Amino acid sequence: MFDLLGVPPQVLFGQLLLGLINGSFYALLSLGLAVIFGMLNVINFAHGALYMVGAFVAWLLLNYLGLGYWWALFLAPTVVGLVGMVLEKTMLSRLYKLDHLYGLLLTFGLALILEGAFRHQYGVSGQPYPIPDLLKGGQNLGFMFLPNYRGWVVAASLIVCFGTWFAIERTRLGAYLRAATENPVLVQAFGINVPVMVSLTYAFGVALAGLAGVLAAPIYQVSPLMGSNLIIIVFAVVVIGGMGSILGAILTGLGLGLMEGLTKVFYPEASNIVVFVVMAIVLLIKPAGLFGRER
């Protein structure tokens, strides 16, 4: 077989697949951010913390109520969504008329409070969460061993991502949403309750983060700091894809996952910064991001 820069193709395929898995996490998280920014114009810094809360809800359900993974997959995003709705109604909704910066500061503060509270209660080492029995084990693909659970994560997040894209870009409800962001007063005049729609959008966006948290729980430690490690990369993904662009967030998330995977083979030390190098280049060439529109 031929080698590519000294790396056998089997290894390369393996790494690309792993990149795709990480990419699907990025896609799921940045999708929620993009939906919230696109519809509410809020830069949701609490996204990482709510992702962490999703994972913790799954852990709490298992340890205190004995409800397993499949229940958590449904219940944790619901809980996170409800928390999001309360946050939106009581705090965020007061800031829409102000500069973006206020929403950013509020959500950043919320993220610190949430993380601090969980750290105080559960320590920093994290909690174990088992892989559900149905998805234990793995497949030998010849070039690598693919754990079943990782395969499931890719499938689940791709379905959710494209489902969301379809709902927003191709359905009537999505059309209302998009119209409401363009001109809320006019849409309200047509008899549509815009404030409720906005809360639901925020709830849905953060529920996606909660879902990503549940998906991540069996792979990573369920730890209060898990969100802050990821949120910066996810923001870079949203910026590269174009703020508020749904499709941009999904495709960029997957693409950057692949790119990071390749970096881990050729120059692992740089794997944490490759995303930001790409971000810098993209911003120089296309300031609105790859899929963004100039406003």
Partner 1 sequence: MRSLLLAGTALLTLTSGAAHAQMSNDVIRIGVLNDRSGIYADLAGEGSAIAARMAAEEFGGKVAGAPIEIVVADHQNKADIAASKAREWVDTGNVDVIADVPNSAAALAVQGITRDKKRIFLMSGPGATALTGAQCSPYGFHWAYDNYAMAAGTGRALYEQGKKNWYFVTADYAFGQSLEEETTKMVNKLGGKIVGSVRHPLGSADFSSFLLQAQGSKADVIGFANAGADATNAVKQAAEFGITQSGQSLAGLLLFITDIHALGLPAAQGLMFTEGFYWNLDDQTRDWSKKFEAKAGKKPTMVQAGVYSAVRHYLKAVDAAKTDDPDKVAAKMRELPVEDMFAKKGKVAANGRMFHDMYLVRVKAPGQSKGPWDYYDVVKTIPAETAFLDPALSGCPLVK
Chain contacts with partner 1 (rule: CB under 8 A): 11, 14-15, 18-19, 21-22, 119, 123-128, 130-131, 138, 144-145, 147, 149-150, 219-221, 223, 225-226, 229-230, 261, 264-265, 268-269, 271-273
Question: DSSP letters of 232-259?
Answer: HHHHHHHHHH-TT-HHHHHHHHHHHHHH
Nearest to 25, CA basis, from 258, 216, 198, 228: 216
Minimum distance from residue 158 beta carbon to partner 1 (Å) = 18
Nearest to 106, CA basis, from 93, 125, 119, 120: 93
Q: By C-beta, is 69 or 202 nearer to partner 1? A: 69
47 Ramachandran zone, left/alpha/beta (phi>0; psi -120 to 50): alpha
How many angstroms separate the CA atoms of 40 and 126, rounded?
33
Cα distances (Å, whole numbers) of residue 192 to 3, 177, 188, 197, 212: 60, 10, 5, 8, 31
Q: By C-beta, is 269 or 294 nearer to partner 1? A: 269
Q: By C-beta, is 65 or 141 nearer to partner 1? A: 141
Q: By C-beta, is 2 or 284 nearer to partner 1? A: 2
Minimum distance from residue 72 beta carbon to partner 1 (Å) = 17
Paired tokens of 208? 């996606």
Q: By C-beta, is 231 or 246 nearer to partner 1? A: 231
Minimum distance from residue 265 beta carbon to partner 1 (Å) = 7
